[in-house]
Amino acid sequence: MGPLTETLTLKLVNPNTHKERKLRETRDEYQRALHGAFIQDCDTQSQANDVVVDYDLSGYAKNALKQYVPNLLDDDTYGAEELREGNHPVRFTNEGPTLDHKPQNAIEWYVKIPHYEDYHLWLPAQPKSNQREWLEALYHGDAEMGECQLIERDGEWYFHVSATMSVEQASSVSVEEQTPIGVDIGEVALATVCHRAECGSPANPTLWSSEGREVRRLRETYFSAVKRLQERESERLAEEYGDELWARIDDILHTVSRGIVEYAQQVDNPILVIEDLTHIRENMDYGQFMNRRLHGWAFAKLHAQITYKAKEHGIPVEIVDPAYTSKECHACGEHGYRLQQAVFKCSNAECWVGEYQADLNAALNLINRYYASCESHVQTDSEFSSNEKEVAVT
């Protein structure tokens, strides 16, 4: 177990004139306070406190500044002129800023930035796509927020959040010793997970189907309710209603992602094999734009949650290109088709597969994909076909 820390970069999206002015006021006042504390040689926190107390800043910025100035004075290379001209980030202790998530909005994430005492700004914020797992962990309370910084760069505003999560070291074993676990994220079953037993047969296939149904039901409830509320011009009610409903969906996703990691903990040297996220988005079912986007949101969330929870428990995650994993037969590699949503049919007359649970077929293909991507270990489908018989999936 050890702490892992990362600085998350959130770009503040199009702050309006009023909010941008407030950001500038905070930044300028902070620079003045920093400069004041610096030229008065405040090399202890209490000295810095005497100076910054008069500035019109939130307590979170003042506290961060008090911690920062004595450190800055230790650094001999710094001069007062440099400090005056330098574009120093505004620092905040972690009690001030808050993160919020509203997937129903075009920009999903929001940050609360302290301005003056008892006055703060909420701003929509765009995270880096590869830091989604950190945001999920922070939002769920599995990662801890540290110091935050407000920064202006080339006319754009950014909010940096330091986040720390406790992780286990992943043990490194050879590909031969690993047990890859295919994780298919889907429409009917929210996730389908299985690995191969030593004989090669699919072992312990697990599907989260009722959760998939519940997420679909909640999503449909959301759309019809919002439509009704909007017809009655109750935009505010529509938004509040959405918050509660999306929190319930989030709970379900956490149940599933936790279940997947628990599954992995039951097998020897597990490695979770998940499909590339862009593919999930492209492969999305049709429908109205919002529905499609929110659907993609649930997948992106689940993906990020699995990734960070696996990291917490020292379980490696491998992302593979899943092109055709739902259309290919896991045993012979031939293209087949879905008879119904839940049934895959192999079109190869020679193949023993015939009809197969479709999501499980996709999960097995992810395992094959993983082996194919490991140059040291090329696995052929025929290795398995002699052992493999029909798998009962409940």
* Contact residues for Zn ion, defined by CB under 5 A: 329, 331-332, 334, 346, 348, 351, 353
Shortest distance, CB of residue 362 to Zn ion, whole angstroms? 14
Q: Which of 380, 376, 371 is nearest to 331 (CA)?
A: 380
Helix boundaries (H) for 77-123? 80-85
Shortest distance, CB of residue 329 to Zn ion, whole angstroms? 3
User: What's the CA gap between 275 and 299, in Å, rounded?
Assistant: 11
Our CB check for Zn ion shows the closer of 255 and 379 to be 379
Residue 315 CB partners (closer than 8 Å, separation 6+): 170, 261, 264, 265, 270, 271, 272
Our CB check for Zn ion shows the closer of 34 and 346 to be 346
Contact 115, 22 (CB under 8 A): yes
Shortest distance, CB of residue 385 to Zn ion, whole angstroms? 8
Our CB check for Zn ion shows the closer of 265 and 382 to be 382
The single-letter code of the amino acid at 170 is A
131: Cα within 13 Å, side-chain hemisphere: 21
| Through-space distance between the first and last CA atoms of the chain, rounded to whole angstroms | 37
87: Cα within 13 Å, side-chain hemisphere: 9
User: What's the CA gap between 137 and 310, in Å, rounded?
Assistant: 12
Our CB check for Zn ion shows the closer of 57 and 353 to be 353
Residue 141 CB partners (closer than 8 Å, separation 6+): none
Q: For the residues of 297-317, what is the DSSP string, one character each?
A: HHHHHHHHHHHHHHHHTT--E
Our CB check for Zn ion shows the closer of 111 and 331 to be 331
The single-letter code of the amino acid at 320 is V
Our CB check for Zn ion shows the closer of 145 and 353 to be 353
Shortest distance, CB of residue 283 to Zn ion, whole angstroms? 21
Shortest distance, CB of residue 347 to Zn ion, whole angstroms? 8
Shortest distance, CB of residue 321 to Zn ion, whole angstroms? 20
Shortest distance, CB of residue 331 to Zn ion, whole angstroms? 5
Our CB check for Zn ion shows the closer of 281 and 345 to be 345
Strands 317-320, 270-275: pairing kind: parallel
Does an H or E element contain 372, and which?
helix 358-373
Our CB check for Zn ion shows the closer of 250 and 388 to be 388
Shortest distance, CB of residue 352 to Zn ion, whole angstroms? 7
